[in-house]
Chain A
């Protein structure tokens, strides 16, 4: 017996802990203050950089605290989880009470509350307040949702209420936060992002994922027809523009220019203009130097070509281009690889690095080869991403704004018009209003209603009166 009471007590206490606004204040401030750390310590850099910057001992401490990737650290995620639980529990905790206010069986009003209202005006009429009852009721019923008319000992009451639903505003905001977190979660679980360098004139459907170097095949191909970069007179970059085509099943699905800030969206993928660069193009000049005579011959060629050597001394074929060629442990940079097939004897590979024009001289052959006058070709650097969380995040933004408008700029308000016969000839009409959830706004509403009442009094030929 005692045990169950205790456990009920405990669950109650846990519930109340998570339902408290105090906890949300603490969690919100903790999130704010801990977030600062990640702006002071650069995130996701290499250990070497960190050690150099902070020294061994600080580095050990920072690493243990996950300060180098803090927004995905367990403790930061825990704070976020705490916020979510807090919002859910708190909202459930209060929703039933709010619900009863929004949908009561019958409108509750307490005359006493209106008499103490700060927003109260009175008007007197000399006669015919009964004649006013109808137009006033009509007016209230037109502008206020829940209206009641009541006869009193010395007159009547007209009561109206509206904007109950705006009390749901805070819940709408909290719901939007939950939706936002859901969207962000979906983004981080199912979203991915890759990169593709696409030379002008080529077509490709393979992108390399960020952070992992995994190659992924896209369900469509991209073709780059042109790339240009323009500059302001000062030399600043003005625009990067790729002429791009998205091709699916051999038909062009999209064909347009891609610039920064105007991505191509296709079937859940977004394609962004990200970087650009230049690579040696198809054609170049192969220079043959006859080492005996010093005579030079230059020939236009491209990869795959076979070129006859003068005097029928054999052929040289250009086989491949490598961005970074490794020669006996040394990086030679961009290099063409070719094969020399002499008239007699076995074929022999020839290395033609672009940055070392005299490299082939070392070989000491009959001819020395080198490459020059390369046609450079642009490639466009595309970023391709797929993020199914985005629609959810954007919907949460809209809901959040609606919730703000509801809580900040609308209010639940109640208006009471009370006609009281103060003497045989005089009736006083009181207009008062309250905002039960203590929002400003009732003030303006009362003013508007009072003006209307005043107007009705003046319009009625049997009455005359003045606002007091």
Chain B
């Protein structure tokens, strides 16, 4: 019987491969390579989803039985899944395959990090405070939000890459979608991401009230998710002001992504209730 952890080690490389195909497609203008990129991306995403469901079943076989969103390792699997799903959605909707380079790379790095021994892939039973349906909704909405914001970051990087060049209409830079498209895509992704991290904040508050009797406690993880939320609220307003498009918006999106990363990984270095995840 194959295990979810071994599926994940294959999927890691398929995501990496997909990124590689997209790079080749971008540089060499090869449609074949781009199509291969899409196909491998689909395979990797399905693989990551299968690993998620298999692990769900594994928790039952062991006798614990819970949705696999209870450890850093499990959340990383789900994160790679959401990156794949949202990327594929925007690829089909906006036909922007260059973004796939970064999407594949992001999912690859996510799973590569998951495979570090320090992360630990054992299935752990749930402690009483984590047994809540609100927690499942909380984590899922957050990761959909994080994935969209990660892709917004990727698009912003493309924007900066393109604007750093001299001749932006030709060659490989010309094959990056136009500034308008990138800008619009960033905005759309940030709106989606903002909606979902708001849902995450809200469901987190409801869960915290149920588990500890307070909906907000200024615990470092909570505070950092508020910080992230405030940065993206700023971005949305800055865009409504004249002049805050393009590069400046891209910088704000990168700042927001830095806040996301710190909320996800950095806060564990600080003390608090969330230190298990």
Inter-subunit contact A25/B234 (CB<8 Å): yes
CA distance A346 to B264 in the complex (A): 71
Query: Quick check: is A234 within 8 A (CB to CB) of the other chain?
Result: yes
Query: Quick check: is B237 within 8 A (CB to CB) of the other chain?
Result: yes
Chain A residues contacting B188 (CB-CB under 8 Å) are 440
Q: Look across to chain A and name the residue whose beta carbon is closest to the beta carbon of B125.
A: A232
Inter-subunit contact B209/A390 (CB<8 Å): yes
Say yes or no: A25-B212 contact (C-beta < 8 A), given A35-B227, A237-B127, A238-B125: no
Chain A residues contacting B267 (CB-CB under 8 Å) are 39
Query: Quick check: is A142 within 8 A (CB to CB) of the other chain?
Result: no
- Give the residues from 199 to 225 in chain B that come closer than 8 angstroms, CB to CB, to chain A: 199, 202, 205-207, 209-216, 218, 220, 223-224
Mark interface residues in B125-150 (1 if CB within 8 Å of A CB, else 0): 10111011000000000000000000
- Give the residues from 349 to 405 in chain A that come closer than 8 angstroms, CB to CB, to chain B: 383, 385, 387, 390, 393-394, 397, 400-401, 404-405
Q: Look across to chain A and name the residue whose beta carbon is closest to the beta carbon of B222.
A: A39
CA distance A103 to B30 in the complex (A): 53
Query: Quick check: is A214 within 8 A (CB to CB) of the other chain?
Result: no
Pick from A28, A259, A262, A393: contact of B234, CB under 8 Å: A28
Inter-subunit contact B227/A237 (CB<8 Å): no
Inter-subunit contact A31/B230 (CB<8 Å): yes
Inter-subunit contact B238/A240 (CB<8 Å): no
Chain A residues contacting B212 (CB-CB under 8 Å) are 272, 383
Mark interface residues in A10-44 (1 if CB within 8 Å of B CB, else 0): 00000000000110110011011101101110110
CA distance A234 to B238 in the complex (A): 52
CA distance A273 to B128 in the complex (A): 10
CA distance A29 to B9 in the complex (A): 40
Say yes or no: A261-B191 contact (C-beta < 8 A), given A29-B231, A29-B234, A39-B267: no
Say yes or no: A38-B223 contact (C-beta < 8 A), given A272-B212, A390-B209, A408-B191: yes
Chain A residues contacting B218 (CB-CB under 8 Å) are 38, 43, 71
Say yes or no: A236-B227 contact (C-beta < 8 A), given A25-B238, A38-B218, A40-B270: no
Q: Look across to chain B and name the residue whose beta carbon is closest to the beta carbon of A394.
A: B206
Query: Quick check: is B165 within 8 A (CB to CB) of the other chain?
Result: no
Pick from B125, B213, B220: contact of A39, CB under 8 Å: B220
Q: Look across to chain A and name the residue whose beta carbon is closest to the beta carbon of B184.
A: A440
Q: Interface residues of A, CB < 8 Å — how many?
A: 49
Inter-subunit contact B210/A261 (CB<8 Å): yes
A276: shortest Cβ distance to chain B, in Å? 11
CA distance A240 to B127 in the complex (A): 10
Inter-subunit contact A401/B199 (CB<8 Å): yes
Inter-subunit contact A35/B223 (CB<8 Å): yes
Chain B residues contacting A35 (CB-CB under 8 Å) are 223, 226-227, 230
Inter-subunit contact B127/A236 (CB<8 Å): yes
Query: Quick check: is B241 within 8 A (CB to CB) of the other chain?
Result: yes
**What 10 A-B pairs have minimum CB-CB distances, sorted nearest first?**
A260-B128, A32-B230, A39-B220, A261-B132, A28-B234, A232-B125, A408-B191, A397-B202, A32-B227, A385-B213
Which residue numbers of B lie inside 8 Å of A, CB to CB? 64, 124-125, 127-129, 131-132, 184, 188, 191-192, 194-195, 198-199, 202, 205-207, 209-216, 218, 220, 223-224, 226-227, 230-231, 233-234, 237-238, 240-241, 259, 267, 270-271
Extra A-B contacts (10), CB below 8 Å, given A193-B213, A397-B202, A401-B199: A25-B238, A31-B230, A36-B227, A38-B223, A40-B270, A237-B127, A260-B129, A263-B213, A272-B211, A397-B205
Q: Could you give 5 example pairs across A and B, Cβ below 8 Å?
A: A33-B227, A234-B125, A240-B128, A401-B202, A440-B188
